[in-house]
């Protein structure tokens, strides 16, 4: 995904090869690269991640749960469970499912939201949907005997599926919803975790799995005057339908007489802007960097196709997709969508095809050049699409992304660009500078004040801040050491799942594991792996599991060695959460702590380790 960018035009021999491989290039790669770098330079800021404000204190209302009735109370719990799972999103649900299947019945889910669903509980904004194919993305489809309605599911269906998983595995029975952890402390005498919550609970658990989610803590831009605004305002992950009217499918009737402003044109902004454009009296979109908008092409599930599927089909499809989007080859492309198309052109698959054409292996330089030129071609297509859809050429120009495909998350949408053909919609392109100031009446951008009735922040989620800050609590392990201290110089784990000094505490999600486009795939692999480890230890009558100090050291060294690839690629990218807002040398970018083997090999490493059977690297007692 993040191949090192090479030098264009290394040698004449290579230039000739590229023309042979890619056909005539109707653009000047050197000029394009210069344009990319100058666009990046416009956006680089000294304050990097610090430009955002943490949602605490006077900002806390931005993360209040709008989907629950106020006044919920319950008696505090002082009991004990065998397994506590923190987080009721896909990570927590998969972990619970795999633990139940492994014979663990005493499982308690703890979740701050009012229900299961995680990101799909919070993100109910109009137009919310998943742009990874539903047949791969929705977990446990065969277990639940459920077939999604469309190739790409809309948010309400995904939320409902999450609740159905919880029902199927009886997870409501013992769950603590609307409950946030405040402290988690290892009690050596009982060899259990003491979990304290904002509901006054002080419960014990033998095993704890942390499934807090990678993008769960909303962030706000630290724009001057952000607290001065007197109109209505909210973050997209807490959509206020009482104000806008309507629901996730649109129909925002209350906005008919409103001037609405939205800051942010990432994957979220792209999905909700068409609905705002349809319903608001006036819509102002404040853009700092345009997203890359490729073709969506959604469609209803063909019931005839669904009946042809054989048991095991979902795993087969997920593996096929994962291999293709990780640069591997497959005889058939089962998903055949924008993701697999991009990856076919921009990864090792393209290099393999080129090698076949040339009758020899590509050199490292040739391979990098091929990737870079293919990337330019792909992004030229995306830019041309904006020209073709948007009627006003000057607006189309502002919507063109000038960076390589994976500098930011690719977006796929068939109505977004068309929204800018509406008379009531104004694109306020800030030329990479962002909004200047927020006032009591609206905001100032490009030196001009825009008066607004409602201001919506589609400004994303914290990445690159500390794990414990994002979780909202610290963990105190054996000997009183906190996780924030243990990880003060970076994540320290074994296999991304356990840490020395924190027995029976397991991390799900992107803590030194492998990332893939289909996030639930990675979560499922982690959940299966952990259920295997915990189940095996229990069978042997062992009570504690943790990474040995040596195994952790070795694993951290392996991560640092393998995860460095892509650093040059990201240094040349426009800022965003993928590259820690463009701060070179900062190791907190989204991909900086992942295992460099990539998901296919990484999952195989875990599988081989399980097959070996000796639980090497873990201390068990
Ligand atoms: P992002 O972080 O991707 O986008 C935040 C947006 O806010 C960017 O456009 C950013 O501009 C803009 N912004 C921030 N500060 C300012 C400012 N001061 N002035 C103007 N603009 C500003 O967040 P999203 O919520 O859009 O998406 C987060 C992630 O959630 C996605 O990357 C994706 O992984 C996931 N997602 C997945 C979906 C799916 O279909 N599976 C759907 C939606 C989200 P700039 O780019 O210049 O920084």
Q: Which tens digit of pLDDT belongs to each residue from 479-516?
A: 999 999 999 988 999 999 999 999 999 999 788 999 89
Cα separation values, 291 from 100, 413, 515, Å: 41, 11, 21
Rounded distance between C-alpha atoms, residue 570 and residue 579, angstroms: 6
User: Looking at ligand 1, which residue's alpha carbon is closest to its atom 37?
Assistant: 267
Rounded distance between C-alpha atoms, residue 559 and residue 25, angstroms: 38
From the CA of 35, how far away is ligand 1's center (Å)? 22
Higher pLDDT, 399 or 370: 399
Residue 45: pLDDT band with limits 50, 70, 90: very high
What does the pLDDT average to over 174-202? 97
Residues 512-546 as b/e (b if ≥16 CB within 10 A, e otherwise) read bbbbbbbbbbbbbbbbbbbbbbbbbbbeeeeebbb
User: Tokens 């492998």 — which residue?
Assistant: 514
Does pLDDT of 22 surpass 90?
Answer: no
Does pLDDT of 107 surpass 80?
Answer: yes
What does the pLDDT average to over 280-307? 97
From the CA of 554, how far away is ligand 1's center (Å)? 35
From the CA of 10, how far away is ligand 1's center (Å)? 35
- Specify the 3-state DSSP secondary structure of 327: coil
Q: What pLDDT does residue 4 have?
A: 34
Rounded distance between C-alpha atoms, residue 243 and residue 220, angstroms: 20
Alpha helices in 517-575 (DSSP H): 519-539, 549-562, 567-571
Q: What pLDDT does residue 10 have?
A: 44
Cβ-contact 299, 150 below 8 angstroms: yes
Nearest ligand 1 atom to alpha carbon 411 = 40
Least confident of 127-141, 232-246, 345-359, 371-385: 345-359
What does the pLDDT average to over 48-70? 89
Higher pLDDT, 565 or 467: 467
What does the pLDDT average to over 177-187? 97
From the CA of 269, how far away is ligand 1's center (Å)? 7
List beta partners, residue 85.
109, 209
Share of the chain above pLDDT 90, in %: 78
Q: What is the full DSSP assignment across 91-155? A: HHHHHHHHHHHTT---EEEE-SSSSS-THHHH---TT-B--S-HHHHSTTHHHHT---SBSS-BH
User: Looking at ligand 1, which residue's alpha carbon is closest to its atom 46?
Assistant: 289
Higher pLDDT, 479 or 24: 479
Higher pLDDT, 590 or 156: 156
Residue 394: pLDDT band with limits 50, 70, 90: very high
Q: What pLDDT does residue 17 have?
A: 61
4 CB-near residues (< 8 Å, 6+ apart)? 368, 565, 566, 568, 569
120 CB-near residues (< 8 Å, 6+ apart)? 89, 128, 155, 158, 159, 162
Q: What is the full DSSP assignment across 32-65? A: HHHHHHHHHHHH--TTGGGGEEPS-GGGGGGGS-
From the CA of 408, how far away is ligand 1's center (Å)? 9
Answer left, alpha or beta for residue 615, where phi above 0 means left and psi between -120 and 50 means alpha.
Answer: left
3-state secondary structure string across 382-425: HHHHHHHHCCCHHHHHHCCCCCCHHHCCCEECCCCHHHHHCCCE
From the CA of 285, how far away is ligand 1's center (Å)? 13
Nearest ligand 1 atom to alpha carbon 128 = 42
Q: What is the full DSSP assignment across 460-525? A: -B--SS-HHHHHTS-EE-GGG-BHHHHTTTS---BTTTB-TT-TTEEE-SSSSS---SSHHHHHHH
User: Looking at ligand 1, which residue's alpha carbon is closest to its atom 33?
Assistant: 267
H-run or E-run covering 454: strand 454-457
User: Looking at ligand 1, which residue's alpha carbon is closest to its atom 41?
Assistant: 130
Rounded distance between C-alpha atoms, residue 43 and residue 583, angstroms: 11
Does pLDDT of 5 surpass 70?
Answer: no
Ligand 1 pocket: which of 268, 338, 579 to mutate (most atoms <8 Å of CB)?
Answer: 268
Cα separation values, 266 from 159, 229, 236, 341, 412, Å: 22, 23, 11, 21, 11
Average pLDDT, the chain: 92
Q: What pLDDT does residue 519 have?
A: 96
From the CA of 402, how far away is ligand 1's center (Å)? 16
Nearest ligand 1 atom to alpha carbon 575 = 48
Does pLDDT of 195 surpass 60?
Answer: yes
Residue 16: pLDDT band with limits 50, 70, 90: very low
Q: What pLDDT does residue 440 have?
A: 97
What does the pLDDT average to over 420-449? 97
Angle between helices 12-22 and 348-358 (to 10 degrees): 100
278 CB-near residues (< 8 Å, 6+ apart)? 250, 252, 419, 422
H-run or E-run covering 263: strand 259-263
User: Looking at ligand 1, which residue's alpha carbon is closest to its atom 24?
Assistant: 460
Tokens of 143: 């277990």
Ligand 1 pocket: which of 154, 221, 266 to mutate (most atoms <8 Å of CB)?
Answer: 266
What does the pLDDT average to over 87-115? 98
Q: What pLDDT does residue 596 have?
A: 86
Q: What pLDDT does residue 257 have?
A: 98
From the CA of 117, how far away is ligand 1's center (Å)? 20
Ligand 1 pocket: which of 151, 459, 510 to mutate (most atoms <8 Å of CB)?
Answer: 459
Does pLDDT of 406 surpass 60?
Answer: yes
From the CA of 268, how far away is ligand 1's center (Å)? 6
Q: What pLDDT does residue 364 have?
A: 85
Ligand 1 pocket: which of 134, 235, 267 to mutate (most atoms <8 Å of CB)?
Answer: 267
Q: What pLDDT does residue 8 have?
A: 40
From the CA of 214, how far away is ligand 1's center (Å)? 14
Q: How many CA atoms lie within 13 A of 89 on its CB side?
A: 21
Residue 292 CB coordination number (10 Å): 26
Does pLDDT of 291 surpass 60?
Answer: yes
Residue 7: pLDDT band with limits 50, 70, 90: very low
Q: What is the CB < 6 Å shell around ligand 1? A: 130-132, 215, 221, 223, 263-269, 271, 286, 288-289, 409, 434-435, 458-461, 576-577
Residue 430: pLDDT band with limits 50, 70, 90: very high
H-run or E-run covering 18: helix 12-22
Nearest ligand 1 atom to alpha carbon 270 = 26
Which phi and psi angles does 112 have, rounded to 5°? -75, -25
Q: What pLDDT digit, counting tens, does each position of 579-592 carry? A: 888 886 555 667 77
List beta partners, residue 262.
285, 456
Strand 220-221 versus strand 52-53 pairing type: antiparallel
From the CA of 73, how far away is ligand 1's center (Å)? 35
Tokens of 509: 């999600």
From the CA of 355, how far away is ligand 1's center (Å)? 37
Q: What is the full DSSP assignment across 150-186? A: BSS-BHHHHHHHHHHHHHHTT-STT-B-S--EEEEEE
What does the pLDDT average to over 456-478? 90
Higher pLDDT, 215 or 4: 215
What does the pLDDT average to over 544-573? 88
């Amino acid at each position: 995904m993040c191949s090192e960018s090479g030098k264009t035009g290394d040698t004449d021999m290579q230039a000739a090869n590229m023309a042979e491989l890619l056909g005539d290039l109707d653009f000047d790669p050197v000029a394009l690269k210069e344009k990319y770098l100058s666009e990046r330079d416009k956006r680089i800021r000294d304050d990097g991640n610090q430009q955002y404000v943490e949602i605490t204190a006077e900002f806390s209302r931005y993360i209040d749960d709008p989907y629950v009735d106020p006044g919920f109370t319950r008696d505090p719990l002082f009991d004990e469970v065998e397994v506590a799972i923190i987080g009721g999103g896909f990570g927590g649900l998969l972990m619970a499912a795999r633990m139940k299947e492994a014979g663990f019945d005493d499982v308690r889910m703890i979740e701050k939201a009012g229900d299961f669903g995680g990101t799909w509980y919070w993100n109910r904004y109009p137009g919310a949907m998943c742009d990874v194919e539903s047949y791969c993305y929705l977990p446990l489809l065969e277990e639940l005997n459920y077939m999604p309605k469309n190739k790409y599911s809309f948010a309400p269906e995904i939320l409902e599926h999450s609740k159905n998983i919880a029902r199927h595995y009886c997870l409501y029975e013992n769950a603590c919803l609307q409950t946030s952890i405040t402290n988690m402390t290892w009690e050596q005498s009982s060899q259990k975790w003491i979990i304290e919550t904002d509901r006054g609970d002080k419960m014990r658990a033998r095993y704890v799995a942390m499934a807090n989610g990678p993008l769960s803590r909303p962030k706000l831009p630290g724009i001057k005057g952000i607290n001065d605004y007197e109109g209505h305002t909210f973050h997209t992950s807490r959509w206020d339908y009482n104000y806008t009217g309507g629901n996730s499918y649109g129909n925002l009737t209350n906005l008919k007489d409103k001037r609405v402003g939205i800051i942010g044109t990432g994957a979220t902004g792209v999905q909700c802007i068409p609905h705002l454009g349809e319903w608001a009296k006036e819509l102002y979109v404040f853009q700092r960097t345009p997203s890359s908008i490729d073709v969506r092409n959604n469609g209803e599930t063909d019931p005839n196709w669904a009946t042809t599927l054989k048991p095991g089909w979902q795993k087969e499809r997920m593996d096929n997709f994962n291999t293709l989007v990780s640069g591997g080859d497959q005889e058939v492309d089962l998903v055949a969508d924008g993701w697999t198309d991009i990856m076919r052109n921009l990864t090792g698959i393209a290099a393999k095809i080129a090698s076949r054409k040339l009758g020899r292996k590509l050199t490292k330089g040739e391979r990098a050049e091929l990737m870079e030129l293919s990337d330019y071609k792909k992004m030229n297509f995306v830019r041309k699409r904006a020209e073709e859809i948007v009627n006003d050429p000057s607006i189309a120009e502002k919507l063109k992304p000038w960076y390589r495909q994976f500098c930011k998350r690719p977006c796929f949408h068939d109505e977004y660009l068309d929204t800018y053909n509406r008379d009531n919609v104004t694109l306020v392109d800030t030329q990479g500078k962002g909004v200047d100031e927020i006032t009591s009446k609206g905001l100032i951008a490009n030196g001009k004040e825009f008066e607004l009735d409602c201001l919506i922040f589609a400004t994303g989620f914290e990445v690159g801040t500390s794990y414990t800050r994002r979780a909202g609590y610290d963990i105190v392990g054996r000997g009183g050491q906190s996780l924030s201290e243990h990880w003060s110089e970076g994540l320290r784990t074994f296999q991304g799942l356990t840490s020395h000094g924190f027995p029976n505490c397991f991390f799900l999600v992107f803590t030194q594991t492998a990332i893939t486009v289909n996030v639930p795939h990675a979560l499922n692999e982690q959940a299966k792996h952990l259920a295997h480890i915990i189940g095996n230890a229990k069978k042997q009558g062992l009570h504690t599991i943790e990474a040995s100090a040596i195994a952790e050291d070795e694993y951290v060294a392996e991560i640092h060695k393998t995860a460095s690839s892509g650093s040059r690629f990201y240094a040349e990218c426009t800022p965003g959460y993928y590259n820690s807002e463009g701060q070179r040398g900062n190791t907190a970018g989204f991909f900086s702590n992942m295992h460099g083997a990539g998901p296919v090999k990484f999952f195989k490493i875990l599988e081989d380790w399980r097959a070996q059977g000796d639980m090497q690297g873990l201390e068990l007692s």
